[in-house]
Structure 1
Amino acid sequence: MSEPNPLIKVQILGKEYPISCPEEEQHDLLLAARYLDEKMRQIRNTGRVIGTERIAVMAALNIAHELLQAHRRSVPQEAQGEYPERPARGRGNRPPE
């Protein structure tokens, strides 16, 4: 039986999260956590979104939007059919009440 992955601690919005991660992926995990923390802080600092859960959802939507844009730029036009042309809401919009 293989050994479990070591735990690595990441901080997001001042809260520490222990994450099980293979050693060869720890650097990327730290970069991803730092990026997420930065995005969540930007959203929180606008003062328009309140609550960690809502901030996390908005950050996830913004990051997914960035990923889809990067995908569209790197994939030929005819292969893009699996994603909608434009998201229903623009980036940074307030979530529904």
Structure 2
Amino acid sequence: MSSSNSVTVHILDKEYSIICPPEERSNLVGAARYLDGKMREIRSSGKVIGADRIAVMAALNITHELLHRQERPEGASAGTTREQVRDLLERVDQALSDDPVSKKD
């Protein structure tokens, strides 16, 4: 792919140049905006600091949203997966709130 297929996105005050097909450009930009918004929400909550921790929490939240919205034909196993994600999110939130390094001073 040529550099003309490069898209620059901004996520949490950092610039990323990503190569993607022209037909996927708007999807990529939209995904980057969505991720940036989620990461800013988490950062502004004051519960989590550090870009890597914020990114993990955003990824978990987005995954949780996806699984919650997604209807699976398996029925019960989809519900089990959602419950596992919810439990994981709660445990991560608890661990981060108990971690003095992740709290703002």
State the TM-score bracket (shorter-chain normalisation): 0.7 to 0.9
Name the CA shift for 1:94/1:35 in 2 (closer, same or farther; >3 Å).
farther
Q: Secondary structure at the match of 1:25?
A: helix
CA RMSD of aligned residues (A): 2.1
Distance 2:11 2:82 in 1: 32
CA displacement, residues 65-95 of structure 1 (integer Å, 9 cap, x when unaligned)? 0010011xx233x345265240223468254
Structure 1 unmatched runs, 5+ = none
Structure 2 unmatched runs, 5+ = 100-105
Which residue identity is paired with 1:66? Answer: E
Per residue, is there more helix in 1 or in 2?
Answer: 2
Mapped contact 1:58–1:95 kept (Cα < 8 A): no
Asked if residue 75 in structure 1 is aligned to residue 72 in structure 2, the reply is: yes
Where does structure 1 differ by over 6 angstroms across 4 or more consecutive aligned residues? Answer: none
In structure 2, what is the equivalent of residue 52 of structure 1? 51
Distance 1:10 1:28 in 2: 12
Mapped contact 2:68–2:82 kept (Cα < 8 A): no
Q: Which range is displaced more, 82-91 or 25-34?
A: 82-91
Q: Determine what percentage of the aligned residue pairs are the same residue.
A: 47
Asked if residue 31 in structure 1 is aligned to residue 30 in structure 2, the reply is: yes
Distance 2:10 2:89 in 1: 28
